Amino acid sequence: MTPISHLYLHVPFCPTICPYCDFHVVRRQAGWVEAYLKRLLEEAGQLAGLWPLELETIYLGGGTPSFLRDRELAALVEGLRAAVGWAGEVTLEVNPGTVSRARAELWRELGFTRASLGIQSLDDQVLRFLGRTHSSRAAREAASYLRQAGLRLSADLITAVPSQRLEREVASYLELDLEHLSAYSLTVEEGTEFARRGVEVAEEDEREAFYRTEELLAEGGLLRYEISNYARPGAESRHNLGYWTNAFYAALGPSAAGHYPSERPGELAQRRTAATLEGWLRGEGGEVLPVSPAQYASDAAFMGLRLERGIDLRALGGRTGLDLLGSWPQLLRRPLEGGLLELQGGQLRATRDGWWVLNQLVTPLVEWSAG
Amino acid sequence: MNPPDIRNFSIVAHVDHGKSTLADRILELLGAMGERDRRDQALDTLELERERGITIKSTPVRLVYHRGDRAYVFNLIDTPGHVDFHYEVSRSLAACEGVLLLIDASQGVEAQTIVNAYLALEHDLTIVPVINKIDLPAADPAAAAQQLEEVLGIPAEEALLASGKTGAGVPELLEAIVDRIPPPGGDPSAPAKALIFDSFYDSYQGVVLLVRLLEGSLSPGDRILLMASGKDFELTRVGVFDPKPVPASGLQAGEVGWIAAGIRDIHDAQVGDTVTLLTRPTQQPFPGFEPAQPVVFSGLYPTDSEDYRRLREALERLKLNDAALVFEPETSLALGFGFRCGFLGLLHAEVVQERLEREFDLDLIATAPVVVYRLLLSDGRELYTQNPADFPSRDRIDLIEEPYIRLQVILPGEYVGPVMQLLQERRGQIRNLQYLGRRVELSYEVPFAEIFYDFHDRLKSLTRGYASMDYTQIGYRPGDLAKVDILVNGELVDALAVIAHQDKAYALGRKIVDKMAEVIPRQLFAVPIQAAIGGKILARATVKPYRKDVLAKCYGGDVTRKKKLLEKQKKGKARMKSIGTVEIPQEAFLAVLSQPD
Ligand SMILES: Nc1nc2c(ncn2[C@@H]2O[C@H](COP(=O)(O)OP(=O)(O)OP(=O)(O)O)[C@@H](O)[C@H]2O)c(=O)[nH]1
Ligand code: SF4
Ligand SMILES: [Mg+2]
């Protein structure tokens, strides 16, 4: 069985809940973190028994993992090392308000190699609009502490926010000397505070964010390698590349989703999603979805076409035992003819205009895999 | 009942001159209006007639009139006045010896007054002229009587004066019916001979036939023969109208009534056919009616394709009760399976659609009404078609001809200028202008396509309702016509092509492409919509490409969730039609197809 090389660990606690957030998060309550840690390490212990692990990357996401107290995080790291070992790239998701010089150094000592800093904006007005509690100054300080502690640094940027000035925003980010940046345009998800307030994103802002951000960042040496992700060459997130290449990854924590190899007949993989916090704490299992070879292929396209380089249909065909080079070009005729997709030497990639409507492009493949 | 004691007559008039209201007063006086069903225009029984306040169907009713110690039977038929239902009137007249020709005292002789008078004369019927609505302040009975004489050659002194509203003059009218309208002839002992002038379907009795007994008699138990269809049946019930069908013991020569014989296959019984006895047939069947000539065509499609069979059944049953309706199956790329239907006019088309929807519980889509064109092809053949999709390519057409009508408009003199201008815009050519006292009769030859849709409304609004019109088809004439093609992303869409006059093609093309661009949802790419004649583009519009549709974030946990979302998306695509690489929802076709030019 193919060994699993990536591990995602979900920390579901946040100090406050942001108005655009649709993740599974809760505010910290008495006793919950202890219970969480106990259950998490139990789960980690079982993991190694179930699947072969050869971890290259670990990612602690959330929520706000940096919101854990120092000794809680240390205990988590210690338990994790004992259960599943450690990896070459280990990322900690960090909220600017939780960073101090000392903590940055502690994280480095605990073995983290990389920090993903949830700045979102360096414009205080935009930050207020987004309901973030930190200031742009705190964000700059946090970035410098993390870099000085020797952590590789990535940051988040939210674009297409009403009243945001994109050029100024990007220029501020470039001053942080990042090696990696995730830039998302604001999406108003159903059920969020923004949706209730009727916040809308202007089509023109969205268009500018989509096309112009790339040009501005390229001038500063950050190249777009995925729809929303930019890096200096060689500094791409190996962990996230695992998702986009449809690799297998294990997941720990409430509502975390994993993708595991399977050798059952008709299955190439399984997707498993853990129960939400309360159920998970009681040891309840989550959802298990078998993944057929066709579904695996369509997942790979769904994720892989997000990458600048696209997907290798020959390799994917070999992996799934399906003649994708034979069948897919017909399914994708319209976008191929219209210049939204390109197929060269078996490599299928989406152009920028293709990325703009990628959901529409992959829908025929999702339908194909379901039927 | 002896034939000498029977009077069969129709009430005819221009639309709204008060036929149904006058019938109410007659019914009342003769005690046929029960307290229960007392309401205005009691003979307008269809829901649609009541809603619209117009008569659509001819309705017979049997009444008894006592004069001295003698009882007369009246078979009265209330007819519609609107030009689209002319065919109803003509068939009703075949069951009568006379007509009451009403003239609204405030309006005078109008276009349909003339048409109906001539129709009665053609049938050799006695005309009893009645100047009606004399209670109106604007009534001018003397002027109306004078027009009667001038326009129709009916002596002014023959006119009776009445008001259907107050009942004034109605007793005298009843006397005149007995005295002036001849009783039916016909030998009661001759072999039975009955003319079918209408029919309807009843779920218990099957096809019910409305008949006028010309000779002989019919009673339940008789073995009848339908002479044109050659089918025979046993009569189960016969009866008369009160105006609901009520059973009777038999029908005699000269009477009007209904018969039922458990006829289930509606093709066996046709309006215009003659009913006789199987064992003792009449020698000379009634010659039948001239079939109605549909002049306006439109496609009717079920909104739910599952309903196609029900629609066929409904059309067949409705045709029993609407002899002017014609239809044949048709398929449309955009709308699926349906029927191309022919009508006597736009109101007729609307009425058919509404009756199908109400009486048969269907949900229908109707395409824009069109006329029938005549094409002379370069190989010498000719082709009649209402469907632009059937047009051969331009180089194979020598000439396109369109139907023309002779249009009569009667209007007060002060409106002549604007109406003539309107008719000029509609490509009309004047043939005659005649003064009728203070009013003018205009006679024009004009393409029917310019008239049938909204001309009547425009005419009414230009003349504050004072103009009336009538027309007859006068055949085909060459027109400077062209087929306007619609292209979506460079591909021809047959279902959307239309025929237009050169001078109007541009505006029409513009309207269609704009509408399409508005109703087609955003696509993967910008999609050009073009209107063209031959290869020449007249107008162009663009369907915008999608707004951004991609997940900003997509990491491990998002896959399952987002895939489900995409699967949901595809459900909305079921009702799309693909034109080349463009997906067009059915609604978009509809928006264009159901919008008249
Ligand atoms: N003042 C007045 N109004 C009348 C008289 N007769 C009818 N009306 C009105 O004229 C309108 C038309 O009356 P109808 O009896 O429906 O006319 P119709 O000739 O049967 O109409 P169609 O069958 O549609 O051709 C109605 O609003 C009646 O109330 C009348 O004698 N006097
Ligand atoms: S910090 Fe992140 S996870 Fe927490 S509420 Fe805000 S957006 Fe959601
Ligand atoms: Mg009427």
Q: How far is CA A16 from CA A29, A185, A193, A255, A274, in A?
A: 12, 22, 13, 19, 23
Q: Whose CA is nearest to atom 7 of ligand 2?
A: A21
**Could you tell me what percentage of chain B is helix, strand and coil, using 3-state DSSP and rounding each to the nearest 5?**
30, 35, 35
Residues A237 and A324 both lie in one domain: no
Residues A164 and A306 both lie in one domain: no
A289 burial class (0-12, 13-18, 19+ CB within 10 angstroms)? middle
Residues A173 and A314 both lie in one domain: no
- Given this model, what pLDDT does residue B4 score? 82
- The ligand with the least distance to the CA atom of A95 is 2
Asked if residue A263 belongs to a domain, the reply is no
Q: Is the pLDDT of residue B572 over 60?
A: no
Over pLDDT 70: what percentage of chain B?
96
Q: Cα separation of A15 and A23, whole Å?
A: 14
Domain B296-366 shares a fold with domain B482-593: yes
- Given this model, what pLDDT does residue B575 score? 56
Asked if residue A284 belongs to a domain, the reply is no
Q: Cα separation of A55 and A249, whole Å?
A: 9
Residues A152 and A38 both lie in one domain: yes
Asked if residue A17 belongs to a domain, the reply is yes
Q: Which residue has tokens 């940027």?
A: A157
CB contact under 8 A, A187 and B569: no
Residues A369 and A226 both lie in one domain: no
Q: Cα separation of B423 and A49, whole Å?
A: 91
- Given this model, what pLDDT does residue A294 score? 96
Residues A369 and A220 both lie in one domain: no
- Min Cα distance B528 → chain A (Å) is 14
Residues A137 and A15 both lie in one domain: yes
Q: Is the pLDDT of residue A24 over 80?
A: no
Asked if residue A259 belongs to a domain, the reply is no
Residue A99 belongs to domain with CATH number:
3.20.20.70
| pLDDT tens digits along A278-306 | 899 999 988 999 999 999 999 999 999 99
Q: What is the largest CA-CA distance in chain A?
A: 58
- Half-sphere exposure (CA, 13 Å, Cβ side) for B35? 0
| pLDDT tens digits along B122-181 | 999 999 999 999 999 999 999 999 999 988 999 999 999 999 999 999 999 999 999 999
Read off the pLDDT band of A242 (50, 70, 90). Answer: very high
State the best of A356, A368, A369 to mutate against chain B, taking most chain B CBs within 10 Å.
A356
- Half-sphere exposure (CA, 13 Å, Cβ side) for B405? 22
- Given this model, what pLDDT does residue B293 score? 83
Residues A235 and A336 both lie in one domain: no
Q: Is the pLDDT of residue B571 over 60?
A: no
Centre of ligand 1 to C-alpha B19, Å, is 6
Q: Which of A226, A241, A256 is the last residue of a domain?
A: A241
Q: Cα separation of B116 and B119, whole Å?
A: 5
Q: Model ipTM?
A: 0.85
Considering only alpha carbons, which residue of chain B is nearest residue A183?
A: B552
Q: What angle do CA B15, B20, B23 make, to 5 degrees?
A: 140
Asked if residue A64 belongs to a domain, the reply is yes
Domain range spanning residue A92?
4-241
Picking from B43, B52, B53, B46, the residue whose alpha carbon sits closest to that of residue B11 is B43
**Domain spans, chain B:** 3-180, 193-277, 296-366, 374-378+388-478, 482-593
Residues A104 and A181 both lie in one domain: yes
CB contact under 8 A, B546 and A360: yes
Residues A81 and A179 both lie in one domain: yes
Asked if residue A316 belongs to a domain, the reply is yes
Q: Whose CA is nearest to atom 3 of ligand 2?
A: A63
| pLDDT tens digits along B205-252 | 999 999 999 999 999 999 999 999 999 999 999 999 988 999 999 999
Residues A234 and A333 both lie in one domain: no
Per DSSP, which regions of B303-396 are E strands? 326-332, 336-343, 364-366, 373-377, 382-385
Give the CATH number of domain B193-277: 2.40.30.10
Read off the pLDDT band of B491 (50, 70, 90). Answer: confident
- Given this model, what pLDDT does residue B573 score? 54
Q: Cα separation of A14 and A26, whole Å?
A: 6
Q: Hey, which residues does B11 pair with through a beta bridge?
A: B78, B100
Least confident of A15-19, A330-334, B42-46: A15-19
Residue A371 belongs to domain with CATH number:
1.10.10.920
| pLDDT tens digits along A215-228 | 999 999 999 999 99
Residue B394's region, left for phi above 0, alpha for psi from -120 to 50, else beta, is alpha
Asked if residue A194 belongs to a domain, the reply is yes
Residues A236 and A331 both lie in one domain: no
Q: Which atom of ligand 2 is nearest to the CA of A95?
A: 1
With a 6 Å cutoff on the Cβ, whether A18 touches ligand 2 is yes
Class in CATH terms, B374-378+388-478: alpha beta
- Given this model, what pLDDT does residue B243 score? 87
Q: Cα separation of A3 and A261, whole Å?
A: 8
Domain B3-180 has CATH 3.40.50.300: yes
Asked if residue A344 belongs to a domain, the reply is yes
Q: Cα separation of B591 and B516, whole Å?
A: 8
* pTM score of the predicted model: 0.68
Least confident of A287-301, A341-355, B485-499, B529-543: B485-499
Number of domains in chain A: 2
Cβ–Cβ contacts within 10 Å for residue A181, how many?
26
| pLDDT tens digits along B325-369 | 999 998 877 778 999 999 998 889 999 999 999 999 998 888 888
Cβ–Cβ contacts within 10 Å for residue B493, how many?
23
Q: Cα separation of B314 and B356, whole Å?
A: 7
Give the CATH number of domain B482-593: 3.30.70.2570
Give the CATH number of domain B296-366: 3.30.70.870
- Given this model, what pLDDT does residue B198 score? 96
Cβ–Cβ contacts within 10 Å for residue A44, how many?
21
Torsion of CA B420, B426, B429, B430, to 10 degrees: -20
Name the average pLDDT for chain B: 90
